[in-house]
C-alpha cells in the first residue's frame, strides 16, 4: 500500500510539473488559429518590396531604410480587420474574438496590446471589425493578432502576428492598396532561326520588359530585341494589326558578360492626360509573349533571358477549377490568368491601347477578380476612382451603382457606400426621368447641374454595345456588335440599367438606414418596372422592342431585362427563347450580361454551350488565334483596332464560379452563401472559390435525370442554402447518408441552412 501511495504521489507530481490541469476549460484543446488576416482588405499589408520584387526584410525594419522599398500604407484613422475562422468540426460559429494591437514586436510577443486589447468580445463578427483602440499615429508600424472562441467550446491559439504601416496623413476614409509586384519568368522554349537569330517563347503574354545576360566581344556589338504578342510562321508577327503589340529595341553590348534590361519607351496613346501612368519604381511596360534576339551569335540558354512581368499581387493558389470538358478548362485558365496579367497598373484599365479606366471594363473585371482571388482592394479603388472620373456612355455611368453594390455584397463592408452615397444617388440619373419613370439623354434633361453631380464634363451618349456599325474600321455594311439595335430617344437597354441602379439604390439606402430614400427608390423602381413593361414590351410577340418608336427587337433589348429581373413571369419563356435564338450576337462585354441572363433563367444547357463553343464568337477562339489573355473582341474582324489584353473579355472567370458552379453571397460578406450548381450535361467538375470568409469547395458527379452527387465544404462562421437537381417528387435526397428535408423551387431541391464544414449530398431516383 505504501509503495502504491508513493507511486501515485510521484505520478501526480510529474503530472502537475508538466503543466496539465484538471479544470474543464483547459481540457479543451487549443487549435485551428485564425488565418488569412486582413487589414483594410489587405492580406499581406506587411509585405515589403524592392523595385517591385518581394524581399525578406520585415516591414518594421524596412521603414526608414534608404533602399527603394515599397509597401502598403494604411491611411484610415480606424482601419478594419478580418480573418478566417478555422475548425475541424462541422457547423462551427465564432462566439467571440480577442484582438491585440501593439506598437512594438516585443509587446505583441508578450501578448500586450498597448494600442488596443479588445478583450474577449462576444460576437460572430470575423470581417470588417473596426479598430477601436488608441489613436493611431502617422508613419508608424503596428503589430496585431487575433484569437477566437467557437460554439464547440474551442478556444483557438492566437494567429501569427501581422504588421501594417500607417500613411503620413490619416483620414476618416481611404482605400488602401498594395504596391505593384514583379516576377521573373523564364522561356518555355528557344528556337534558333539562324546562327545569330533566336526565337524565344515565354508561354504566356504579360506586361513587363525583358532582361538579358549576354556576352559582348567587341565594344561595337549590337543586338536587336523584338517583343510581340502574336507570332506568324514561327516568328513574331511584326505587323499584327489593331493594337496588338510589336516593338523592336536596339541594344549595344559592353565587352564581357553583362545583364541588360530593355527600357520600354512611352506610347503617346496610353500615357496621355487621362491615362493612368506606371509608377517610377516599375517603369514603362509592354505586353509580349515572344522575343526575338537578332544579331547574337553566342550560345543562348534559358537562364540568360527573363520576362520581367508586372502585376498587382496575385495568389494563383487561391482558386482552382477543373471539369470533364477540356474546352471549358482551357477557357477557365485563359480567363483566370487574364485577371492577373491585366492588373499591371493596380487599377482596372481598358488594356494597353489607352490605359484608361472605364466603368464597363471595371464592372466585369471586379466580378472576375472576386471569382479568382480573395482580393477586394483593387476592385474598390477602381470603382471609387471612376466615381470622380466617369466616362461618356450613359450605361457606364449607371454601372457605378452596380459596382458599389457588388463591393458590399462580396465584402460585407458598407463604408464605401456611406462615403459615396450622394455620388451614387447622382449616378442613377434620376433627373433624366419623365413622368412615367423612363429616362432619356435626348429630351433636354441633361443639364449642367446633372453633369456636375456625376463629375462629368462632356456629352452623355447611349452605347448599348461596342463597336457600332460604321466606326472603328467597320463599314456601313458591317453590323458591329449591336445586333441591329435601333436607337431611339427612350432606349430599352439604358432603362434596364436605370431600373437595376434604382433597385440597388433602394437596397443601399436600407443598409445605410436612409428610410425615406429607401421608400422613394423602391416606389420609383416599382413605377419604372410597370412603365417599362407597358411601353417597351411587345405583348403579342412576348419580347422587348429596342425603344419607344421602333418595332425592332435585338438580343440586347431582351437579355438586359432578363438579367435585371424586369420580365414578367409569363413572358420569361418567350424572352429566354428569343435570347437563345440570337446566339452570341453581342460583344465580349455584352456576353457578361447574356451569360447572367441565361443562367438566371435556369437555362444551363445553353450556358454550357456558349462557354464551350468553338465558333469564331467564343472564348475558345481567343485561344485559337494565339492569345493567352482575353481579347477586347471575339476576333479582329469584329473590332479591327482591338487589343489582346482586355479583361472585359474574361467573363467566364466569374460566370463559372458564380453561375455554373453557383457560388454567390446570399447575405453581404458571404455570411450566408447560395450553392446552386447548374451543370447541364457536364459530367463532373470541381472548384475552389475564395471568399472573404474562406474557401468554398464544390465538386460534383452528374448523370442527368439519374444521379447527382456533390461534395461541399463551406467556411466556418457561415451557412449555405444548397440547390440540388429536382427531377421528380419520388427522388431521394440525402446529406451525409441521411434523408434530408428540402423545398422545391422550380427545377431545384433546396436544402436550407446547411452549416459549415464538409458535407456530401446525393440525389437519386
Q: What is the pTM of this model?
A: 0.94
Question: Running DSSP on this structure, what letter comes out for residue 669?
Answer: G
Q: Judge contact between 46 and 69, C-beta under 8 A.
A: no
Taking each helix axis from N to C terminus, what angle separates 555-563 and 588-600, rounded to the nearest 10 degrees? Answer: 50
Rg of the chain over Cα atoms, rounded to whole angstroms, equals 28
**Mean local confidence (pLDDT), 198-210:** 98
CATH of 35-171, one of 3.30.420.40, 2.40.50.100, 2.40.420.20, 2.60.40.10: 2.60.40.10
In CATH, what is the architecture of 670-764? Sandwich (2.60)
Residue 658 burial (10 A CB sphere; 0-12, 13-18, 19+): buried
Q: What is the mean pLDDT of the chain?
A: 94
Residues 6+ apart with CB under 8 A from 660: 599, 604, 607, 608, 611, 677, 678, 679, 682, 685
Place of cell 520581367: 308
As a dihedral over the C-alpha atoms of residue 329, residue 334, residue 335, residue 339, rounded to 10 degrees, the angle is 140
- Residue 323 C-alpha cell reads as 471539369
Question: Running DSSP on this structure, what letter comes out for residue 499?
Answer: H
Phi then psi for residue 461, to 5 deg, are -140, 140
Q: Judge contact between 126 and 84, C-beta under 8 A.
A: yes
**Mean local confidence (pLDDT), 164-179:** 98
Q: pLDDT digit string (tens) for 238-279?
A: 999 999 999 999 999 999 999 999 999 999 999 999 999 999
- Measuring CA to CA, which residue among 640, 641, 648, 661 is closest to residue 619? 648
Q: pLDDT digit string (tens) for 432-469?
A: 999 999 999 999 999 999 999 999 999 999 999 999 88
Taking each helix axis from N to C terminus, what angle separates 394-411 and 359-372, rounded to the nearest 10 degrees? Answer: 20
Q: Judge contact between 260 and 209, C-beta under 8 A.
A: no
Give the domain ranges of the chain.
Answer: 35-171, 181-311, 325-374+586-660, 670-764
Q: Judge contact between 379 and 370, C-beta under 8 A.
A: yes
Q: Judge contact between 144 and 133, C-beta under 8 A.
A: no
**Mean local confidence (pLDDT), 346-374:** 97
What is the spatial distance between Cα 504 and Cα 133, in angstroms, rounded to a whole number? Answer: 34
What is the spatial distance between Cα 355 and Cα 408, in angstroms, rounded to a whole number? Answer: 26
Identify the pLDDT of residue 32: 86
Q: Please, which pLDDT band fits residue 470 given cuts at 50, 70 and 90?
A: confident
What is the spatial distance between Cα 599 and Cα 674, in angstroms, rounded to a whole number? Answer: 14
- Strand 74-76 and strand 162-171: the pairing is parallel
Q: pLDDT digit string (tens) for 566-605?
A: 999 999 999 999 999 999 999 999 999 999 999 999 899 9
User: In the predicted model, is pLDDT for residue 324 greater than 50?
Assistant: yes
CA–CA distances in Å: residue 80 to residues 127, 567, 699, 743? 8, 40, 33, 38
User: In the predicted model, is pLDDT for residue 158 greater than 60?
Assistant: yes
Identify the pLDDT of residue 26: 33
In CATH, what is the architecture of 181-311? Sandwich (2.60)
Identify the pLDDT of residue 472: 64
What is the spatial distance between Cα 462 and Cα 456, in angstroms, rounded to a whole number? Answer: 15
User: In the predicted model, is pLDDT for residue 651 greater than 60?
Assistant: yes
- Residue 461 C-alpha cell reads as 451618349
Angle at 763 between CA 762 and CA 764, to 5 degrees: 115
Identify the pLDDT of residue 479: 76
- Measuring CA to CA, which residue among 6, 712, 74, 25 is closest to residue 377? 74
CA–CA distances in Å: residue 378 to residues 268, 270, 319, 345, 508? 26, 20, 17, 10, 21
Q: pLDDT digit string (tens) for 665-684?
A: 999 999 999 999 999 999 99
Cα dihedral sign, 392-398-399-404: positive
- Measuring CA to CA, which residue among 701, 631, 687 is closest to residue 659? 687
Q: Using omega within 30 degrees of 0 as the cis cutoff, is the peptide bond preceding 362 cis?
A: no
Instruction: Tally the residues of the chain.
Output: 765
Q: Judge contact between 321 and 334, C-beta under 8 A.
A: no
Q: Count the alpha carbons within 13 Å of 722 in the hemisphere toward its beta carbon.
A: 30
- Measuring CA to CA, which residue among 598, 177, 203, 215 is closest to residue 384? 177
Identify the pLDDT of residue 220: 83
Burial letters for 451-463: b for 16+ Cβ neighbours within 10 Å, e otherwise? bebbebeeebebb
> Which residues face 645 on adjacent strands?
none
Identify the pLDDT of residue 473: 59
Q: pLDDT digit string (tens) for 24-71?
A: 333 334 468 999 999 999 999 999 999 999 999 999 999 989 899 999
Q: Please, which pLDDT band fits residue 737 given cuts at 50, 70 and 90?
A: very high
Amino acid at each position: 500500500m505504501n509503495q502504491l501511495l508513493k507511486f501515485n504521489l510521484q505520478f501526480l507530481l510529474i503530472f502537475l510539473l508538466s503543466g496539465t490541469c484538471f479544470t474543464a476549460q483547459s481540457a479543451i484543446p487549443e487549435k485551428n488559429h485564425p488565418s488569412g488576416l486582413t487589414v483594410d482588405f489587405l492580406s499581406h499589408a506587411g509585405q515589403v518590396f524592392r523595385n517591385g520584387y518581394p524581399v525578406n526584410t520585415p516591414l518594421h525594419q524596412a521603414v526608414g531604410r534608404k533602399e527603394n522599398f515599397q509597401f502598403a500604407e494604411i491611411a484610415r484613422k480606424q482601419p478594419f480587420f478580418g480573418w478566417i475562422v478555422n475548425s475541424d468540426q462541422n457547423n462551427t460559429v465564432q462566439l467571440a474574438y480577442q484582438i491585440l494591437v501593439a506598437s512594438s514586436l516585443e509587446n505583441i510577443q508578450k501578448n500586450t496590446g498597448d494600442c488596443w486589447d479588445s478583450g474577449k468580445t462576444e460576437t460572430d463578427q470575423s470581417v470588417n471589425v473596426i479598430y477601436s483602440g488608441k489613436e493611431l499615429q502617422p508613419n508608424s508600424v503596428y503589430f496585431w493578432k487575433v484569437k477566437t472562441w467557437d460554439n464547440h467550446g474551442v478556444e483557438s491559439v492566437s494567429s501569427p502576428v501581422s504588421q501594417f504601416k500607417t500613411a503620413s496623413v490619416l483620414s476618416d476614409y481611404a482605400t488602401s492598396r498594395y504596391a505593384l509586384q514583379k516576377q521573373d519568368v523564364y522561356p518555355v522554349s528557344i528556337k534558333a532561326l539562324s546562327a545569330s537569330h533566336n526565337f524565344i517563347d515565354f508561354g504566356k503574354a504579360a506586361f513587363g520588359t525583358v532582361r538579358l545576360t549576354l556576352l559582348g566581344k567587341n565594344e561595337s556589338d549590337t543586338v536587336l530585341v523584338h517583343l510581340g504578342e502574336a507570332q506568324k510562321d514561327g516568328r513574331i508577327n511584326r505587323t499584327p494589326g489593331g493594337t496588338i503589340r510589336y516593338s523592336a529595341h536596339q541594344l549595344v553590348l559592353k565587352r564581357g558578360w553583362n545583364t541588360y534590361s530593355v527600357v520600354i519607351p512611352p506610347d503617346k496613346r496610353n500615357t496621355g492626360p487621362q491615362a493612368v501612368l506606371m509608377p517610377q519604381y516599375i517603369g514603362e511596360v509592354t505586353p509580349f509573349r515572344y522575343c526575338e534576339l537578332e544579331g547574337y551569335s553566342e550560345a543562348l540558354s534559358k537562364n540568360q533571358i527573363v520576362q520581367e512581368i508586372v502585376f498587382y499581387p496575385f495568389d494563383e493558389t487561391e482558386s482552382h477549377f477543373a471539369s470533364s470538358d477540356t474546352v471549358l478548362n482551357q477557357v477557365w485558365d485563359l480567363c483566370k490568368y487574364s485577371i492577373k496579367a491585366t492588373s499591371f497598373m493596380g487599377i482596372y484599365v481598358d488594356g494597353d491601347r489607352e490605359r484608361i479606366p472605364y466603368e464597363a471594363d471595371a464592372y466585369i473585371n471586379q466580378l472576375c477578380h472576386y471569382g479568382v482571388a480573395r482580393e477586394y482592394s483593387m476592385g474598390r479603388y477602381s470603382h471609387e476612382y471612376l466615381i470622380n472620373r466617369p466616362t461618356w456612355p450613359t450605361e457606364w455611368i449607371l454601372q457605378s451603382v452596380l459596382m458599389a453594390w457588388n463591393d458590399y455584397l462580396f465584402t460585407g463592408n458598407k463604408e464605401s457606400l456611406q462615403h459615396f452615397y450622394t455620388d451614387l444617388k447622382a449616378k442613377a440619373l434620376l433627373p433624366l426621368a419623365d413622368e412615367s419613370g423612363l429616362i432619356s439623354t435626348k429630351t433636354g434633361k441633361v443639364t449642367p447641374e446633372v453633369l456636375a453631380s456625376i463629375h462629368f464634363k462632356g456629352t452623355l451618349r447611349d452605347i448599348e454595345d461596342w463597336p457600332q456599325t460604321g466606326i472603328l474600321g467597320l463599314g456601313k455594311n458591317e453590323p458591329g456588335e449591336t445586333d441591329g439595335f435601333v436607337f431611339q430617344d427612350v432606349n430599352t437597354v439604358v432603362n434596364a440599367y436605370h431600373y437595376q441602379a434604382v433597385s440597388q439604390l433602394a437596397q443601399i439606402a436600407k443598409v445605410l438606414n436612409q428610410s425615406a430614400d429607401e421608400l422613394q427608390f423602391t416606389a420609383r423602381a416599382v413605377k419604372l418596372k410597370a412603365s417599362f413593361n407597358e411601353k417597351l414590351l411587345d405583348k403579342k410577340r412576348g419580347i422587348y422592342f429596342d425603344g419607344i418608336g421602333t418595332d425592332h427587337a435585338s438580343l440586347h433589348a431582351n437579355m438586359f431585362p432578363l438579367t435585371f429581373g424586369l420580365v414578367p413571369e409569363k413572358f420569361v419563356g418567350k424572352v429566354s427563347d428569343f435570347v437563345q435564338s440570337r446566339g452570341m450576337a453581342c460583344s465580349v462585354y455584352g456576353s457578361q450580361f447574356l451569360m447572367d441572363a441565361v443562367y438566371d433563367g435556369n437555362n444551363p444547357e445553353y450556358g454550357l454551350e456558349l462557354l464551350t463553343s468553338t465558333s469564331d464568337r467564343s472564348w475558345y477562339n481567343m485561344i485559337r488565334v494565339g492569345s493567352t489573355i482575353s481579347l477586347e473582341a471575339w476576333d479582329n474582324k469584329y473590332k479591327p483596332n482591338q487589343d489582346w489584353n482586355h479583361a472585359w473579355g474574361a467573363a467566364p472567370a466569374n460566370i463559372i464560379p458564380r453561375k455554373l458552379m453557383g457560388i454567390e453571397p446570399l447575405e453581404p460578406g458571404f455570411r450566408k452563401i447560395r450553392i446552386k450548381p447548374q451543370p447541364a450535361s457536364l459530367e463532373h467538375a470541381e472548384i475552389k472559390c475564395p471568399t472573404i470568409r474562406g474557401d468554398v469547395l464544390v465538386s460534383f458527379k452528374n448523370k442527368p435525370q439519374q444521379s447527382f452527387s456533390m461534395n461541399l465544404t463551406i467556411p466556418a462562421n457561415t451557412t449555405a442554402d444548397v440547390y440540388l437537381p429536382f427531377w421528380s417528387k419520388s427522388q431521394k435526397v440525402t446529406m451525409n447518408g441521411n434523408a434530408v428535408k428540402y423545398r422545391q423551387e422550380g427545377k431545384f431541391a433546396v436544402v436550407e441552412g446547411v452549416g459549415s464544414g464538409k458535407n456530401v449530398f446525393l440525389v437519386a431516383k
